[in-house]
Amino acid sequence: MSIYLDVIWFLNFSFDLFLLLLTAIALKRKIYKLRILLAAFLGSSIVLMMFSPLAFMATHPIGKMIISMMMVIIAFGFYRFRYFFQSLLTFYFVTFMVGGGMIGAHYFLQAEMKYLDGLLMTNSSGFGHPISWLFVLIGFPIMWIFSRNRLEGLEAKKIHFDQMVTVTISVDSTQFTLSGLVDSGNQLYDPITRSPVMVIDTMKAKEYIPAQLVYQALQQDVMRSLSESGDESHPWEHRVRIIPYRVVGSENQFLLGFKPDEVWIETKNEKIKVHKTIVGLNRTTLSSENEYECIVHPKMLQGQSIEHVS
């Protein structure tokens, strides 16, 4: 079996370099190019050690762990144990994630990749079939980009769910609970009282709201639906509010809403009682994935904290 040592070394050097970069991206660490290059060179030196008296260290799990720890220290430094272990475990995580994806794609496509003592190689007949090299050279960057995007997506999802709250609305003897999203982009206020406006998915709460009000709120032209209702009334008529709003590229529109008696917002840490707010009735679905049923105005979180949640 012929082995092209320089090609195998460069391949592993490139892999180590990209994995360290992905680790830095995942941890939001500043990237020092020289340190990353030196760490990648150290990691790829395991290929050279395979053909030296130190081969036993290159193939032993403890030896590999020591090398990976040194790589992380060189790339990101050592400030305290928690910082170091966070870097090390994240490096292992992205390695398993990208490597697992490559192995899965390998078996799915049956490309000619082989492993020799833990090193990624092309087929054992020498330089390798062009298709197998093409798979490695194209497949790894694709998996790297996919993994980076997934990590960013998971972070965005975490931020999103950190803003999720439970909202309970009370009107007379009616009380109902919805899942809410605190959205800093919601800057709706009642033009008269300057009360912050939270927006709910009308269809998710229609069983608790008077049918006449639901019908009016779901109409495209709210003002027209109110004028056409004539003498028809409902129990919440004195609570109805009209909130003007504007969407980019369109004229002023109106949102129908009502004034509740009280609103409770439960976050991860506390339960907040809100007295001054308006509940806007949205005619369309707020979340296509049903992750939340209302959008909470950020100012509502400044209400009175009545209970701390452990």
190 is catalytic: no
113 pairs with which residues across the strands? 122
pTM over 0.85: no
Give the residue among 87, 298, 66, 269 at the shortest CA–CA distance from 197. 298
CA distance 220 to 241: 16
Confidence of residue 127 (pLDDT cuts 50, 70, 90): very low
Q: What is the pLDDT of residues 134-144, one digit of tens each?
A: 566 676 777 77
pLDDT at 142: 75
> Which residue is it, tokens 């390998």?
106
CA atoms within 13 A on the CB side of 61: 0
Q: What is the pLDDT of residues 279-300, one digit of tens each?
A: 999 988 898 878 899 999 988 8
CA distance 12 to 14: 5
Say if residues 34 and 75 touch (Cβ distance below 8 Å).
no
Highest mean pLDDT among 19-23, 62-66, 173-177, 283-287: 173-177
pLDDT at 124: 44
Mean pLDDT of the chain: 80
58 alpha carbon, distance to own chain's centre:
37
Domain ranges of the chain: 5-161, 163-308
Q: What does the pLDDT average to over 165-173?
A: 93
Residue ranges of E strands in the chain:
113-116, 119-122, 164-171, 174-182, 197-201, 240-246, 252-258, 262-266, 270-274, 278-282, 294-296, 304-308
Task: Select which of 183, 201, 221, 261 is catalytic.
Answer: 183
Q: Where are the alpha helices (DSSP H) in 163-236?
A: 211-218, 222-228
